[in-house]
Chains A and B, each alone.
Chain A
Amino acid sequence: MSSPAYNPSELLICSAARLMPDSTTAFIGTGIPMLAASLAQKMHAPNLVTVFEFGGTGAILDELPIAVGGQRTFHRAIAASGICDVMEAAQRGFIEFGFLGGAQIDPYGNLNSTVIGDHDHPKVRLPGSGGSNDVGSLCWQTIAIMRHDKRRFMEKVDFITTPGYLTGPGSREAAGLAPGTGPYRVVSNLAIMGYHPVSKRMLLLAVQPGVTIEQVLENTGFELLIAETVEENPAPTAEELRILREEVDREKLYI
């Protein structure tokens, strides 16, 4: 089957959707995670429980929310509560996956969405943590979605807004974060990455269709570990794209 044409957003959405298994819980933010969750619900994960930070739990994402607190985040949901209830559920270990993004990421998956430059005299003041730090601290596994270039994939981020593996093995636990939690995947327009089980450094697992390992390395500002076998992530299928375009984002809000 020849693969149909798709744009970079569609690639990220399909890649992220495939990472979500059925019958699990996922903390969903605005943008690509929402589209990915909706696509997953319509493909292989009809029982995916979406959790939105301001209180929507178990929404059926028939129509895409624009805002993380909008009405569609609790459309035909199981519960409409508040932020404390949702954060406490994550803190009790009820939320498996969380999605993250940011301006910068380092080899340990630490993310910056607070400032570029010095905190007290920033070159660029970014929005801040929002729920990001909590997702990175409290969910079991996190998936970061990033545009891939050297200014974003850096040896050292300007500010650790959201903890990844901090300075390496054991450092999350030493800081007081719950054992067994941490970054799971990074999905970029060039590759899918995981983390080395021992060193906790970022590890190249698969390249996106048509991308070479060299291109990934050239666009990464730190030494990226490479898995023994680097797969090619399958391109979005015609079925995924049809559902994405005709059902998930039929109002063309995002793609």
Chain B
Amino acid sequence: MEIIQSGIAQLIRPPDLNAFREWNRKKPKTLIDKRMTEAEAISRFVHDGDYIGTELYGTVRCPMSLVNEVVRQGKKDLLVAGQGVLELDMLLAASLVKKMDITYAGLEVYGVSNCLRREVESGRVETCVEWSNAAFAGRFKAAAMGVPFIPLRSMLGSDTLKYSSAKVVRDPFTGDPICLIPALILDVGLIHVHRADKYGNAQIDGISGFAAEMARASRTLIVSTEEIVDTEEFRRRPDRTIIPYYLVDGVVHAPFGSHPGEMCYLYQRDEDQIREWVKAAETPETTQEYLQKYIYGVRDHQEYLELIGQERLESLRLGAEK
């Protein structure tokens, strides 16, 4: 295949598909109770220098209790799949990110992320490799398919491609230029779901973003869940299983695990808390004060929820809105 153009960025994590196959072969297929706390899951499975990814859409279904624990334990020099809002901001605020594949890191309606700006403009984040959202999802999809790359008809002609590690080749069948995006296999994936059983079978309600793809692109997968349910629920409705248990290494029970983000049909996002973060993130000092108060200063997710307060959390619950 003739290579027409190569993105100038070095591929942060070249996929080793054969090693991934060997790894997946060895993953336990027996039913093991994988319930554990955030602290245990992060200390066991996330290491300094790991390539990690979170699955979410904006402030929806973001795995905040897990990410807050990554920050609390100070896992550093992380390579990060940069698609997100609050959870990326926390990792950046704590200066834990060394390199990023990035498609979007910002605050949606609240604009540009000051934490991203400070970390990238100072050079503390050493590398930003650019991608589009479809390329991001497609890279996970390629890994989930167990193939080294997939073709994509976006990014072509842009600087997004130039500063990526994608390649443009001549389609061997038609001769037309086509963009190839490389598979992305994560060391650790973090996903928050509506319900899971103790073995790791998981269901998501509403839209599912790129959960199916990222779960299958992760060597190690930590699932946090609003609710732990009996396996019978999965046996009764197997069509609803988006993540089967053998992909999963740790199951963390985390009610309000996306706070201050939202979970569809369960609770809405906490606008006051998000505004407090947006304001705090304006300066390095107030950013650290926020981390101190809401992450370092509490022992775990339970204590975080107590700090937010039961009354406030109840006010976020969605009633009959379905």
Which A residues fall within an 8 A CB radius of B? 30-31, 52-56, 66-71, 73-74, 80-84, 87, 90-91, 110, 114, 119, 121-134, 136-138, 159-163, 166, 171-172, 174-178
Q: Contact check, A67 vs B209: say whether CB atoms are below 8 A apart.
A: no
Contact of B57 (CB < 8 Å), options: A68, A81, A171 = A68
Q: Contact check, B156 vs A71: say whether CB atoms are below 8 A apart.
A: no
In the complex, what distance in Å separates the CA atom of A79 from the CA atom of B118?
Answer: 39
What residues of B have a CB within 8 angstroms of the CB of A137 in the complex? 132, 153-156, 158
How far is the CB of B173 from the nearest CB of chain A, in Å? 14
12 A/B residue pairs, CB under 8 Å, sorted by A:
A66-B108, A69-B56, A71-B264, A84-B213, A87-B133, A122-B121, A125-B112, A127-B106, A128-B102, A129-B133, A163-B158, A171-B157
Q: Contact check, A161 vs B159: say whether CB atoms are below 8 A apart.
A: yes
Contact of B206 (CB < 8 Å), options: A71, A83, A90 = A71
User: How many residues of B are counted as interface, with CB atoms below 8 angstroms from the partner's CB atoms?
Assistant: 63
How far is the CB of A117 from the nearest CB of chain B, in Å? 9
Q: Contact check, A67 vs B58: say whether CB atoms are below 8 A apart.
A: yes
Q: Contact check, B58 vs A70: say whether CB atoms are below 8 A apart.
A: yes
* Binary CB contact string for chain B from 89 to 104 against chain A (1 if under 8 A, 0 otherwise): 0000000000000111
Query: With A67-B57, A71-B206, A82-B207 given, is the CB distance from A127 to B113 under 8 Å?
Result: yes
Nearest B-chain residue to A79, judged by Cβ: B207
Nearest A-chain residue to B264, judged by Cβ: A71
Which B residues fall within an 8 A CB radius of A? 56-61, 82-83, 102-106, 108-109, 112-113, 116-117, 120-121, 123, 128, 130-135, 137-138, 141, 152-160, 163, 168, 176-179, 206-213, 262, 264-265, 268-269, 271, 318, 321
Q: Contact check, B157 vs A71: say whether CB atoms are below 8 A apart.
A: no
How many A-B residue contacts, CB cutoff 8 Å? 203
Query: With A53-B133, A68-B57 given, is the CB distance from A129 to B103 under 8 Å?
Result: yes
Q: Contact check, B212 vs A30: say whether CB atoms are below 8 A apart.
A: no
Q: Contact check, B208 vs A125: say whether CB atoms are below 8 A apart.
A: no
Q: Contact check, A126 vs B112: say whether CB atoms are below 8 A apart.
A: yes
What residues of B have a CB within 8 angstroms of the CB of A163 in the complex? 156-158
Query: With A54-B209, A132-B132 given, is the CB distance from A127 to B104 under 8 Å?
Result: yes
Q: Contact check, B207 vs A176: say whether CB atoms are below 8 A apart.
A: no
What residues of A have a CB within 8 angstroms of the CB of B177 in the complex? 174-176
What residues of A have a CB within 8 angstroms of the CB of B163 in the complex? 114, 119, 159
How far is the CB of A53 from the nearest CB of chain B, in Å? 6
How far is the CB of A236 from the nearest CB of chain B, in Å? 22
Q: Contact check, B154 vs A114: say whether CB atoms are below 8 A apart.
A: no
Q: Contact check, A54 vs B130: say whether CB atoms are below 8 A apart.
A: no
Q: Contact check, B130 vs A128: say whether CB atoms are below 8 A apart.
A: yes
Q: Contact check, B207 vs A74: say whether CB atoms are below 8 A apart.
A: yes
